[in-house]
Amino acid sequence: MRKIQKDRGSRVITLIHRQESLSFLGVPISRYINIEDSGQVLRAIRQTDENVPIDLIVHTPGGLVLAAEQIALALVRHKAKVTVFVPHYAMSGGTLLALAADEIVMDGNAVLGPVDPQIGSYPAASILSVVERKPIEHVDDNTLILADIARKVANQVRDTVLHMLKENVSTEKAEELADFFTQGYFTHDYPLSATRLKSLGLPVSFDMPAGIYKLMELCPQAGTNRPSVGYVPMPQRTAPTRERDRSST
């Protein structure tokens, strides 16, 4: 990690999950992005000078929407360039992090995935389709409640994706891509290839540094006590002293 930082003049952060366990619809069960991960990544970003580029290496099946959105929005707010490297795959919440980047560097065989929200074990889009296709009197109250939640969360995730994409593409293209990723056109574990993503207009490149492949070799299936987030500690930045308000007494 130190060598990659030196070569690129950046701050390297890793978010690598092993022992992945996916259900039929791709919902992560074992190692996934959680609140502990988001807290550590946010700490690393906070300790990085705003003028230093961030290189985030992501290998994950996804995870909690809250945790992924916190990291993604922090990446968007970082002043210097943010690059997300995907050597193998970054699904669901991992894709959300990639969409927050100024540049997405992918292996030619790497994939991202849809970020359509899931309600329990069901895609939000599928719950909504049931309500839309059946007469309301034939839909039970529980399904109606789930549909209401599904509609809200689908709108929320789309708004988040749209906000991030507007940083790097036109508003029209951002609207198109936000629908593509969030509206349930695919199953949640559907792989979207690097070539396809680039053709859609995302800032995808294939210039993967050799050092990142070597780094991934050091992260085989891990024991249960191995941390998923890593970064090289740097001195804590101190907030600039604010000039005292002259009008105060």
What confidence score (pLDDT) does residue 19 get? 58
124-181-54 Cα angle (round to 5): 120
> What pLDDT is recorded for position 26?
44
pLDDT at 231: 81
Asked if 145 and 126 count as a contact pair (C-beta separation under 8 A), the reply is: no
Place of tokens 């009008």: 247
CA dist., res. 124 & res. 122, Å (int): 6
Enumerate residue ranges in the chain where pLDDT < 70.
Answer: 19-31, 220-227, 236-249
What burial class does residue 80 get, using C-beta atoms within 10 Å of its C-beta: 0-12 exposed, 13-18 middle, 19+ buried? middle
Residue 25 has what pLDDT? 43
Task: Report d(CA 202, CA 101) in Å as an integer.
Answer: 10
Residue ranges of the chain that CATH labels 3.90.226.10: 1-114+188-235
Phi, psi of 77 (to 5 degrees): -75, -15
pLDDT value of residue 236: 61
Q: What is the pTM for the complete model shown?
A: 0.82
Question: At residue 224, what are phi and psi to the nearest 5 degrees?
Answer: -65, -20
pLDDT for 214-225, tens place per residue?
Answer: 999 887 665 555
Query: Under CATH, which architecture does the 1-114+188-235 domain have?
Result: Alpha-Beta Complex (3.90)
